[in-house]
A and B are shown apart, each in its own frame.
Chain A
Amino acid sequence: MGVDIRVENLNAWYGQVHTLKDVTLHIQANQCTALIGPSGCGKSTFVRCLNRMHETNPIARAEGSVKMGGVDIYHDASPVEIRRRVGMVFQRPNPFPSMTIYDNVASGLKLNGYRKRRVLDEVVERSLKQAALWEEVKDDLKKKSGASLSGGQQQRLCIARALAVDPEVLLMDEPASALDPVSTAKIEDLIFELKSQYTIVIVTHNMQQAARVAERTGFFLTGRLVEFDATDKLFTNPSDKRTEDYITGRFG
């Protein structure tokens, strides 16, 4: 099941650059929350703070409070523990090229020391089915490399890989921006399916996409969260002038 995420006064820096300024928002459990805004507005940095991926860059740091289902992820847990509870899907599909399809999906469990064959088989099948990839790859599971699939299939493989470790939250950083429209539609269908079991946060440049998949949407600009509201409300009747300018295409 998904958990809610309470973010309070989150600030982030890359070296001297202050990329995220006093962000406070409440992400509901088992909903899809979309984050939109022009390039460099801090939305990617924001999701990377939610699984402490931000700090893997040696010059980066973050301050503030992020509570995931009540657990303060910056004080009560290690980054590794947090990342096991929070799956992440990146902009460019990044399957492990040295691994088969099966090993890609099983990697999160296997590389954390889990080896029970029967359970792994089950998890791989379940995750690939959840990611709507099972039918396309079930005959090549242990024969083909994850890198041999098409771009759209690779991205669904990465989603399956993230789901296999049974996370509570799924972060997606522009998961469809490198894909063609057919693959994009598949990913969006998937988000719809997955909402019942996970809390989903998706960064997107595509406002139609945000409108299609998300219950709530946040608009970022120059490191600040300008507006955060129900998706319908934000797109039809924004309360901030800057949001309106952005969604009507006046800038960004």
Chain B
Amino acid sequence: MISALPQRSQQMERAIRWRRSLTNHFVTGLAVLSTVVVLVPLVAILGYLLYKGASSLNLAFFTKVPAPVGESGGGMANSIVGSGIILAVASVMGIPLGIAGGVYLAEYGRGGMLGNIIRFTADVLNGVPSIVMGIAAYGLIVVHYKFSALAGGVALAIMMVPTITRTTEEMLATVPHALREAAFGLGIPKWRTIMSISLRTAMPGIITGCMLAFARVAGETAPLLFTAFGNNFWNFKLTEPMAALPLQIYVYALSPYDEWHRLAWAGALVLIVLIMLSVTLVRLYASRGTIKGGH
């Protein structure tokens, strides 16, 4: 077949080579440009937060509660701790539930009616605006009980579940069926196979999904507005209103005082750093003891 091609002149060869090289450079340049375009906002946000917020960070910021109006100083210690508590509550409820849902979808409900309903619901839930989650938690808990850290945790947990469920399902689907058969062949019951083979093999991906969900809700303000409500003082009780970083940032950013604006910037910086830190720590912890030569 090759001999059927017309002979190319040297000139033609050179023209073709030049065109290919040009295309190659053009596409490579496009890829580099896209990367820069994606990275610029991220770096810019971090840089701007550092510029605006770093100067207001001091010991008081991490140890004191907000100062009363008219007094200077004060910090966000109670908000930092409050965010930690509310997120812990949300994770304790949302992560097991989300993973269990994903396990059902991947290992039991594949193709079934109930499975399809759950999958559809999860996708819809994923697209529900966060303020609606807040209203839902308000109607479910606050109306019958009161503003509390628990209500805030529930609102965030509901937001975490669909993301975790869908990632868990997708990660379990990537576990080769041959591994399940190997386990069945050894006389290992199905539930054991799921726990020790399927979930364990898919664990890195599932952890990524959990951290995505965590990072997303960690910065949520709207679902906490009418649930955790915020608090200017220390509170460690789940049944009482509790401060949270996003809430405090929101309140300070809307205030008319310059000092509060600066504190809001500092709060935003601390929030982002804390999220990045916790995600990194979990990843490090999860990758400890990984054996060599897997996959």
Contact = CB atoms under 8 A, between A and B. Distances in A.
B127 to A, nearest CB: 31
Contacts, number: 91
A107 B185 contact: no
B182, B196, B203 pick with most chain A CB within 10 angstroms: B182
A94 B186 contact: no
B120 interface: no
Contacts of A85: 187
A130 to B, nearest CB: 16
Interface in A79-127: 79-85, 87-88, 90, 92, 94-100, 107-108, 111-112
Contacts of A143: 291-292
A107 B201 CA distance: 14
For this complex, into which size category does the number of interface residues on chain B fall?
20 to 34
Interface in B246-295: 291-295
Contact of B182 (A80, A94, A144, A148): A94
Given A92-B178, A96-B197, A108 B186 contact: yes
Given A97-B294, A97-B295, A143-B292, A112 B179 contact: no
Interface residues of A, number: 34
Given A51-B185, A108-B187, A112-B187, A94 B178 contact: yes
A161 B200 CA distance: 18
A47 B226 CA distance: 62
Nearest to A108: B186
A183 B106 CA distance: 36
B184 A53 contact: yes
A56 B188 CA distance: 13
B294 A145 contact: yes
Interface string B181-200: 11111111100110011001
A145 B292 contact: yes
A79, A83, A90 pick with most chain B CB within 10 angstroms: A83
B187 A96 contact: no
B292 A98 contact: no
A90 B181 contact: yes
Contact of A98 (B182, B186, B187, B200): B200
Given A94-B178, A111-B192, A100 B291 contact: yes
A147 B196 contact: no
Interface string A160-183: 011001000000000000000000
B188 A147 contact: no
Contact of B291 (A80, A87, A144, A165): A144
A125 to B, nearest CB: 18
Interface string B157-199: 0000000000000000000101101111111110011001100
A158 interface: yes
Given A56-B181, A96-B182, A97-B201, A111 B292 contact: no
A99 B289 CA distance: 11
Interface of A: 51, 53, 56, 79-85, 87-88, 90, 92, 94-100, 107-108, 111-112, 143-145, 147-148, 158, 161-162, 165
Given A80-B189, A111-B183, A143-B292, 19 more contacts: A53-B181, A56-B181, A79-B184, A82-B187, A83-B187, A90-B182, A94-B181, A94-B182, A95-B182, A96-B197, A97-B179, A99-B291, A112-B186, A144-B291, A144-B292, A145-B292, A145-B294, A148-B293, A161-B182
Interface of B: 176, 178-179, 181-189, 192-193, 196-197, 200-201, 203, 291-295
